[in-house]
Structure formats: structure tokens, C-alpha cells
């Protein structure tokens, strides 16, 4: 059977890069790109029934709060900078209303948003993270099926920070999310950017590939293409400069380099300087709204 793009079903696809799951399993994967809808994807997708074994709860930082060592330390630093910056970026020009953080992890963004006056809801598929978030917020965090609990046109703001690249069917998820988004609401994605300098520098070692947990590898073009089919238009694209340092540090670790920290700081800095001109930051935040006729 010929290979097809798992998003648009086109057969007009080509091999992009071969790489390993350096983070956990050390298994080999390939990334292919679709010449029609422009998205890159991990090939093959692990069966959905097996994906949990690639998320070791011991090692997956976004699902825990209590890891020690350089990388988790950097992750926490980056995260605390990011939360405040992200909040300001995605809510600019909005008055606090109703927020859904889909894939809320351990709930830190929701805690921050609630302190600013938002009515907050979270959905998280990982059970351990969900429990931590529920305790922190003292309210129920729903599992993956939780979206169906909400009425139509309910949220002013829906955020997915580093989530869409993990989802088997982004199209189905988008349809479900757009049902609960108000007609003038905002839909926000943060995604690694495979067009960034750090991605090009580290090639197969780039931590932003994160196969096979990341099934999709977006850039500005492919995310626009995906959202166009849902009558959404991008009205803003924002940098996540801190991610360049964290992703570079992980990538140095995958390369087993000596002196990973100074090297990562240098590559992260170069990535941000280049992105200041090109817009191609290590990770990007994309802000979408419904098209107006």
C-alpha cells in the first residue's frame, strides 16, 4: 500500500529526515512531509493503544513538579518566565472571561489566569498531571472526553500550549474545540517551529522533533493550511524566545556533547537573534479567530 499524508490523504509526500526517540525509547522513526498540505509527520505513527509507553511519567517534565537535575531545573525556569509572558501575549486586548486550557498539564497557566480574573477550565489526558492540576486549582480537571460537557459557544479563549503536535486527529479536535468557542473567541496554539535556526542546527538531534510523542511537525505555513479548512484565520504570531535555550540544552544532551550548557546558551542566543529578523523562533504562538465574511 502506498504511503499517504495522514492529514489530507495525499500521496504526494516525501522523506524529510530519519531520527531516533533520543528522549526515551531510542527507537528509530522517520519524518515525512506532505507537498500538498505542507505538514510534516512522524512515520509511522505508533498505534494509539501503545503511545502511553512513550510517555514515561518518571521522565516527562510537563506531567510532574518534582524532578531534580539541570534539565528539569531549566525547564522550570523557562516555564515560569513563559507563563507570565504567554499570559500577556495571548490575552492582549481582552477582558477576562472564560478560558479553556486544553492539555493543561499540571495547571500552572490556569492558576496564573485565574489570579488575573479568568474563569478557568482545564482538560488533561495524563492522569497524574490531571490530579496535580485538580489539587492546585481545587476544581475538577476533565479528561480527554471532557469537551463534550461544555455547551456551544462557551469560551472566550482556548489555549493549546505544545499540545496539537501530540494529537492523532487535529481535524477532529479542532471541530470539537470550535463548537465550544464563541464566534468572537480566540484559539491559541504554541508549537515547536521546524523552520527555526536551532532545528536546522541540530538536525536529527533537535529536541523539538520529540518523536514519536510529536506526531506532527508544524510550521507557520502548515498550521495556516490546517486552520483554513476550519474557517479560521491567523491574526497574530508571537515569539517564545525562552524555548530556544531549553530545546538547545536538550538537543546538546541528545548529542552527548561535552559542555552542553554553554553551547546551548550560544545556540539559543543565535537562534533568537536570527529569529528577531526572520520571525522563525524555536517555538511560536499562533493566534486564530473565525474569518469574518
* Residue 31 is a binding residue for Zn ion (CB under 5 A): no
Q: How far is the CB of 51 from Zn ion (least distance, A)?
A: 21
Residue nearer to Zn ion on the CB measure, 38 or 130: 38
Q: Cα torsion for 63, 65, 69, 75, to the nearest 10°?
A: 70
* Residue 33 is a binding residue for Zn ion (CB under 5 A): no
Q: How far is the CB of 6 from Zn ion (least distance, A)?
A: 8
Residue nearer to Zn ion on the CB measure, 7 or 272: 7
Residue nearer to Zn ion on the CB measure, 7 or 282: 7
Measured distance CA(260)–CA(107) in Å, rounded: 30
Residue nearer to Zn ion on the CB measure, 40 or 126: 40
Measured distance CA(130)–CA(69) in Å, rounded: 24
Handedness of CA 79, 115, 234, 276 (dihedral sign): negative
Q: Cα torsion for 57, 208, 253, 204, to the nearest 10°?
A: 120
* Residue 133 is a binding residue for Zn ion (CB under 5 A): no
Give the binding range for Zn ion (CB under 5 A) out of 28-36, 145-153, 205-213, 246-254: 28-36
Give the binding range for Zn ion (CB under 5 A) out of 10-18, 65-73, 81-89, 142-150: 10-18
* Residue 10 is a binding residue for Zn ion (CB under 5 A): yes
Q: How far is the CB of 144 from Zn ion (least distance, A)?
A: 25
What kind and span of H or E run contains 172?
helix 170-180
List, as one string, the DSSP characters of 1-67.
Answer: -----TTT--S-EEEEEEEE-TTTT--EEEEEEETTT--EEEESPPPGGGGGGGS-TTT-GGG-S--
Total residues binding Zn ion (CB under 5 A): 7
Give the binding range for Zn ion (CB under 5 A) out of 32-40, 99-107, 114-122, 143-151: 32-40
Q: How many CA atoms lie within 13 A of 28 on its CB side?
A: 2
* Residue 5 is a binding residue for Zn ion (CB under 5 A): yes
Residue nearer to Zn ion on the CB measure, 34 or 90: 34
Measured distance CA(174)–CA(194) in Å, rounded: 22
Q: How far is the CB of 160 from Zn ion (least distance, A)?
A: 20
Q: How far is the CB of 41 from Zn ion (least distance, A)?
A: 8
Q: How far is the CB of 8 from Zn ion (least distance, A)?
A: 3
Q: Are strands 119-123 and 28-34 parallel, antiparallel or unpaired?
A: unpaired
Measured distance CA(285)–CA(190) in Å, rounded: 4
- Residue pair 110/159 in contact by the 8 Å Cβ criterion: no
- List the one residue out of 209, 203, 163, 202 whose CA is nearest residue 21: 209
Give the binding range for Zn ion (CB under 5 A) out of 9-17, 142-150, 199-207, 226-234: 9-17
Residue choice 31, 33, 37, 227 for contact with Zn ion (CB under 5 A): 37
- Residue pair 15/40 in contact by the 8 Å Cβ criterion: no
Give the binding range for Zn ion (CB under 5 A) out of 37-45, 72-80, 106-114, 141-149: 37-45
Q: Which residues bind Zn ion (CB under 5 A)?
A: 5, 7-8, 10, 34, 36-37
Amino acid at each position: 500500500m502506498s504511503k499517504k499524508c495522514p492529514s489530507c490523504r495525499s500521496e504526494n509526500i516525501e522523506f524529510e529526515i530519519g531520527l531516533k526517540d533520543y528522549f526515551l525509547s531510542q527507537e528509530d522513526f522517520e519524518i515525512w512531509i506532505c507537498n500538498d498540505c505542507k505538514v510534516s509527520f512522524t512515520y509511522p505513527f505508533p498505534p494509539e493503544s501503545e503511545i502511553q509507553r512513550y510517555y514515561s511519567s518518571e521522565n516527562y517534565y510537563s506531567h510532574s513538579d518534582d524532578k531534580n537535575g539541570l534539565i528539569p531545573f531549566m525547564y522550570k525556569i523557562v516555564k515560569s518566565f513563559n507563563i507570565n509572558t504567554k499570559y500577556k501575549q495571548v490575552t492582549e486586548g481582552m477582558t477576562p472571561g472564560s478560558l479553556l486550557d486544553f492539555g493543561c498539564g499540571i495547571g500552572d497557566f490556569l492558576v496564573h489566569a485565574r489570579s488575573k480574573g479568568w474563569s478557568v477550565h482545564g482538560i488533561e489526558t495524563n492522569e497524574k498531571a490531571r490530579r496535580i492540576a485538580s489539587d492546585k486549582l481545587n476544581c475538577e480537571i476533565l479528561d480527554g472526553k471532557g469537551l463534550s460537557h461544555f455547551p456551544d459557544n462557551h469560551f472566550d479563549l482556548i489555549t493549546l500550549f505544545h499540545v496539537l503536535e501530540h494529537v492523532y486527529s487535529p481535524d477532529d479536535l479542532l471541530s470539537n474545540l470550535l463548537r465550544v468557542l464563541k464566534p468572537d473567541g480566540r484559539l491559541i496554539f504554541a508549537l515547536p517551529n521546524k523552520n527555526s535556526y536551532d532545528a536546522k542546527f541540530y538536525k536529527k538531534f533537535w529536541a523539538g522533533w520529540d518523536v514519536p510523542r510529536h506526531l506532527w511537525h508544524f510550521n507557520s505555513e502548515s498550521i495556516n493550511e490546517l486552520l483554513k479548512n476550519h474557517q479560521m484565520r491567523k491574526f497574530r504570531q508571537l515569539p517564545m524566545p525562552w524555548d530556544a535555550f531549553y530545546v538547545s540544552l536538550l538537543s546538546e544532551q541528545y548529542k552527548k556533547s561535552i559542555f552542553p550548557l554553554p553551547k546551548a546558551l550560544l545556540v539559543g542566543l543565535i537562534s533568537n537573534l536570527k529569529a528577531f529578523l526572520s520571525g522563525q523562533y524555536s517555538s511560536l504562538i499562533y493566534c486564530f479567530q473565525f474569518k469574518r465574511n
